[in-house]
Amino acid sequence: MQWRVVTAAVLALACVVSALAGGYLAIRAFGTTVEPFTLGTARVAAVPALDGRVDVYVPIVDWGVRATPYSAPVEITLRFRSLDREEGSAALRSGPAARARLESIRSDLARVGRRALRRSALIGIAGGLVGGLLAGGVIGAVLHRRRWLVYGSLAGLLAPIAYAGVVAATLRTIDYDAFERPTFYARGRELPRLLDFSGQLLTAGESYTRSYEQALAGLANLVVFATGTRSVDETADTSVVLASDLHSNALVLPVLEEYTQEKTVFLAGDVALLGVAVERRLAPQIGRLGEDVVAVSGNHDSRPLMRELARAGVVVLTREGRLRPNGSTDGTPVVEIGALTVAGYDDPLEGRGALAGGRPLELTEEQLAEEERHFVAWFEALPRRPQIVLVHQHALAHALLRAVQPADPPLAIFTGHDHKQHLEQSEAAVLVDGGTVGAGGPLAIGEQNVGLAEVRFADDGAARTVDLIDVEPLSGNAVARRMALTGADSEE
């Protein structure tokens, strides 16, 4: 008797699995449709997925954006087929007319999403019924029991209905703030164009709000950019690029130079790899990055290299002030770079020449603890509070992050060294590590990705958003994550 129950349960489970598989295959095969909406037409599909997300892709420029605003096990994808440039441009203008257009876009997208979900549900139920009947028919034929056709039909009907019920229940709660933390993706040289415009993807008219209207305005911006129009007013915020750990990989410098045009570039140390004299030839190329280049030394760097960078026009900062080409410092540790005040800390392991002489590249635990105390004391003794502190050793950066008090003015700490791209935030400070812009050096290409960060500052000097950019050098595949910082001013 027990064996019969187990066998029946296994066969019933097989019918359920077959029903779910049939529903999934049917949705994948017939669930995609082309829908018109205010900005043009798009191929839309709602397919089962392990993680719920919205994926918008623009094949014209081969990039897109993803967000995870809900936990429902379904992915809604939009692939643009045609774009209405005039309508997209009109939606970006301020005033009542633009708001009306944004409301129209919101209504259209809601309608498109509902239609895609209903279509997928009906197709999934039909496919599930076929899958259940197929499994029931096979089992019935093997066991010579026709009632398994009925059992298979019931499984084929109930399994997809239950799945649709789970989707409907979990779609009741949608986190629209997720559209402020999207993931951009692209290939090769399209990524700089995408990120150059990404500062406007989440803005609409006069506000920078956490709302559904803002997300839709971001979609409108995305469409207009895809058609080559840039009608949104440039933001007044200050945008800077953080790069670290080049390690003499000159192969990435041309692309980095193109991306950083008219921007301020911060180099958080380890320009060199071996500390040899030939690496100083990179200085003129580095000096051409961006409108201004600010650098500190890393544990792989040497004082002669930093002097060569200073000679190439780079603002080389030390704990005593700006380094001059002759090796002296100006005695002013806090400098003004555009609208920002900056202080930099030269690396404790900065050398005088090549690494071949056995110069250590890492601090011992005792040395690190002592250097952390020195670094925090240096910061607290600065004549005025900077908005950015640039330091290579990430352990020192974390020590400062812990030391900054909530009552202090906002502070951004730029660091590197560990080749691990990450962002951490306390109540009064944010720590940004862009990873290794040189992919670990020319000998490590293929083993490490190129990483850098773009940070935007509000008028009050507080860091507002961070784009963490990650590129696989050999294939050109790239991902950029927008991180909206807590406590940042939300108004333009």
Q: What is the pLDDT of residues 67-107, one digit of tens each?
A: 888 888 888 888 877 766 566 555 544 445 555 666 677 67
pLDDT, tens only, 272-323:
988 788 888 899 999 999 899 999 999 999 999 999 999 999 999 999 999 9
Q: In the structure, what pLDDT confidence band is assigned to residue 59 with cuts at 50, 70 and 90?
A: low
pLDDT, tens only, 23-58:
888 888 888 888 887 777 888 998 898 878 888 776
The model's pTM: 0.65
Q: In degrees to the nearest 10, what's the CA dihedral of 285, 288, 292, 297?
A: 0
Written as one letter, the residue type at 206 is: E
pLDDT at 474: 57
Residue 477: is its pLDDT beyond 80? no
Nearest alpha-carbon partner for 33 in 105, 119, 99 = 119
pLDDT at 309: 96
Residue 430: is its pLDDT beyond 60? yes
349-358: b or e for each residue (b if 16 or more CB lie within 10 Å)?
bbbeebbeee
- Range in 294-298, 336-340, 350-354, 412-416 with the lowest mean pLDDT: 350-354
Residue 253: is its pLDDT beyond 80? yes
Residue 180: is its pLDDT beyond 80? no
User: What strand order describes the sheet that includes 411-416?
Assistant: 334-337, 340-345, 388-393, 411-416, 429-433, 422-425
C-alpha 394/C-alpha 379 separation (Å) is: 15
Residue 140: is its pLDDT beyond 50? yes
Q: In the structure, what pLDDT confidence band is assigned to residue 209 with cuts at 50, 70 and 90?
A: very low
pLDDT at 83: 63
Please tell me which of 108-112, 252-256, 362-366 the model is most confident about, judged by mean pLDDT. 362-366
Please indicate whether residue 278 or residue 432 has the higher confidence score (pLDDT): 432
Mean pLDDT of 373-377: 97
In the numeric block, the tokens 């603002």 are attached to 315
Q: In the structure, what pLDDT confidence band is assigned to residue 230 with cuts at 50, 70 and 90?
A: very low
Please indicate whether residue 338 or residue 39 has the higher confidence score (pLDDT): 338
pLDDT at 115: 87
In the numeric block, the tokens 């900056």 are attached to 342
